[in-house]
Amino acid sequence: MTYALITGASRGIGQAIATELASRKYNLLLVARSGSALETIAADLSRKQGVSVQTLAIDLATPDAPQQVFDWCQTNGYAVSILVNNAGYGLSGQFEQYLLAENLAMMQVNMTTLVALTQLFLPQLRQQSKAYILNIASSTAYQALPGMSLYAATKVFVLNFSRGLHHELAGSGVSVTCVSPGATDTGFNDRAQINQKARDAAKKITMTPESVAKQSVAGMFAGKAEIITGAINKVGAFAAWLLPKGIVEKTAYKIYKE
Q: Which residues are catalytic?
A: 151, 155
| Distance separating alpha carbons of residues 132 and 74, to the nearest angstrom | 19
| Distance separating alpha carbons of residues 193 and 76, to the nearest angstrom | 38
The alpha helices in the chain, defined as continuous H runs, are 12-23, 35-49, 65-76, 100-107, 113-127, 149-168, 188-192, 196-202, 209-221, 231-242, 245-256
**32 forms bridges with which residues in the sheet?**
57
Find, among 90, 91, 70, the residue nearest to 79 by Cα.
Answer: 70
53, 105, 141, 19: CA torsion to nearest 10: 10
